[in-house]
Amino acid sequence: MIQAEMVEATEFPELSMLYNVSGVPQTTINAGKAHVVGAVPEPNLLAEIQRILAE
């Protein structure tokens, strides 16, 4: 149900542009539904995932 992928931004420029990647690391959730920039503490990431799933 859940997949986590490291994406090397310079090799995938269209995807990086699509998700407005400027600062890394950027964690993009569900193909652009949400983004978190920087190192994310686990509870924060969990909260973001829960938030967008509830929408």
Partner 1 sequence: MTQLLNDDIIKQIREVFDGLKHPVHIMFFGSKESCQYCDETRQLVEEVSAISDLISIETYDMEADSDLAANYHVDKAPGVVIAAKESDQVTDFGVRLAGIPSGHEFTSLIQDILLVSNRDSGLNPQTREFLKSLDKPVLLQVFVTPT
Q: Which residues bind partner 1 (CB under 8 A)?
A: 1-12, 15-16, 19, 21, 24-31, 42-43, 45-46, 49-50, 53
What is the smallest separation between the CB atom of 16 and partner 1, expressed in angstroms? 6
- Residue 25: CB partners within 8 Å, gap ≥ 6? 37, 38, 39
What is the smallest separation between the CB atom of 44 and partner 1, expressed in angstroms? 11
Distance (Å) of CA 29 to CA 3, 15, 20, 53: 10, 13, 13, 10
What is the smallest separation between the CB atom of 14 and partner 1, expressed in angstroms? 11
